[in-house]
Structures are given as C-alpha cells and as structure tokens.
Amino acid sequence: MIRIFIDYLLPIFYFKCMTKNREKLLMILNANKVPMNASLIYEDTKDSFDLATIYRGLNYLETNNYVSSFVFDCKESGVQRYFTIKEESHKHYMHCEKCHTFTAIPLCPLKNALSDIEEEYGFIVDEHYLTLRGICRHCAETTL
C-alpha cells in the first residue's frame, strides 16, 4: 500500500498541487486585470521572485491552461509576451502608444468575420489574435 502511494499517488498529488509561486503569479495577473509581461510582474513583486522563476512559472501556467498569452510589439518596451488569466470568453485589447496601457475589448469584434472565413474557405479557426494600437481617450483629450 505504501509503495503504491509513493510510486503512483504521490506524483499525482504533486502534479495537482499548485506551488506558492504559481499561485502568487495567478493572483498578480488576476489583480491587474490587464496583460502583463514578465518584467512588469517582476516590478510588481520585487524581492519575492527572480525573473527566471517568473518565466518558469508563467510557462507552467500556460501549459496547464491557467493563463493565455500573446506577443505584442510596444513602441516603448519592444516585442514582449503578455499574459492574462484564461477566461471563458476571450478578450482583445487596445494598446495606447502614449501611456502604454492595455484596455480590454470585452466582445470579440472578429466573431462574424471569422465564421464567414470558415464558411468560405472551409478553414477551421482554432485561434486568432487582435490587438489594436493607437491613442486612448484619456491621452487624446490631454494632448488637445
């Protein structure tokens, strides 16, 4: 019985058990509500994590479907991978190139266009990415 526990059940138990680090990463992403890259998370947590731990943790969370990510080229911070908590309905974002913040677009503006494409080309779409780049309302008003 003990052998079975060690050989079989213990690995399963460990696999299911979320480490403190991963839990904390999820909490940060959840609290911020906007896509975050590893360096933003690093700034948010100073002292408690090093960058390598953050990369490893994010990688684990994405492989296990807790978070999703996309690559975005911000004029200020360059090409980075951004992570968000995985939700039932996916979101797209608008990125302001003045204040470099992301704002969520809760409804998918491509929904109808994608089913048209599927119908026309017989191509089954698994995934799609769309991030709008521009100037947010706040920045547009303050530059006037």
Does 133 engage in binding with Zn ion (CB under 5 A)? no
Does 117 engage in binding with Zn ion (CB under 5 A)? no
Does 136 engage in binding with Zn ion (CB under 5 A)? yes
User: Please, what is the minimum distance in Å from the beta carbon of residue 6 to Zn ion?
Assistant: 46
CA–CA separation, 136 and 99 (whole Å): 8
Does 74 engage in binding with Zn ion (CB under 5 A)? yes
Tell me if 107 sits within 8 A of 123, measured CB to CB.
no
Closest CA to 131 of 87, 74, 65: 74
Cβ-based nearer residue to Zn ion, 26 or 139: 139
User: Please, what is the minimum distance in Å from the beta carbon of residue 53 to Zn ion?
Assistant: 26
User: Please, what is the minimum distance in Å from the beta carbon of residue 136 to Zn ion?
Assistant: 3
Burial of 36 (0-12, 13-18, 19+ CB in 10 A): buried
